[in-house]
Amino acid sequence: MEQGERRRIFSGESRIRLADGCVLLGRTIDPDDLSRLLTDGIPFVSVGRRDDAGGPVPYVGADYPPAVRALVERAAALGHRRMAYVGAGQGAESFADRLRGFTEGVAATGVEGLHLSTVDGLFDSGATAVFAEELADGVAIVELARARGLDVPRDLSILALGASTRPVSTDIDFAGFRIPRREMGRRAVELLTGVLERGGVPQELLACELVEGSTLAPVPDTDRT
């Protein structure tokens, strides 16, 4: 049930206690609800990594940091020395993990990294490679770039960090990675079966598959140092 912007598990209409166990879905889950699930001993597994909520939370999620680091390294190998991450980078654990991977990748490669919550200031930042937190953001950035007469990826490379949580329609073949959503769901059910039979607090992260795409190219010659 939605109350404000948070999905509430325990509400007046909740029948969760009637279930033997449950698989939790959603970009964000209220930490108080997670804490109550743990306290009440209700078996569950979350699809998506979750921070501790008064104790470790059982989950199976996507391993975002290594995937984003690998994309930063790929961009750096193509000559990009100033990169921008566009997105919240906080709130949902998946967003925080993406930004962490970007920050770690920037530090490891020695390039300059910027974190912009929105596209404001992006085109004046000097960034030649943009990491869009969501696919919808990537689409919007491509449209803004083209409106400014910029070619993607000749003038500006754009990488999308997984599928979008917002409705978006595009035929752009973004460089980025594939989130193993189907595998996560299947594994969550398997882990829940194990919890029901043996207990425990399983926590697993599944690798994201890098996608070559067509929106990442060598940095323009005029930007090489």
CATH superfamily of 63-177+211-223: Response regulator (3.40.50.2300)
User: Are domains 2-62+179-207 and 63-177+211-223 of this chain identical in fold?
Assistant: yes
For the chain, the domains span 2-62+179-207, 63-177+211-223
Non-local CB neighbours of 4 within 8 Å, separated by 6+ positions: none
Residue 164 to residues 27, 70, 95, 100: CA-CA distances in angstroms? 11, 20, 12, 19
Of 112, 45, 88, 65, the C-alpha closest to 207 is: 65
pLDDT given at position 220: 83
Q: How many percent of the chain have pLDDT more than 70? A: 88
Q: What is the pLDDT of residues 53-81, one digit of tens each?
A: 999 999 999 999 999 999 999 999 999 99
Residue 168 in this model has a pLDDT that exceeds 80:
no
CATH superfamily of 2-62+179-207: Response regulator (3.40.50.2300)
Q: What are the backbone dihedrals phi and psi of residue 173, each rounded to the nearest 5 degrees, phi first?
A: -90, 85
Q: Which residue has the higher pLDDT, 137 or 6?
A: 137
pTM over 0.85: yes
pLDDT given at position 28: 87
Q: What is the pLDDT of residues 8-24, one digit of tens each?
A: 676 656 666 677 889 99
pLDDT given at position 169: 72
pLDDT given at position 210: 96
Residue 221 in this model has a pLDDT that exceeds 90:
no
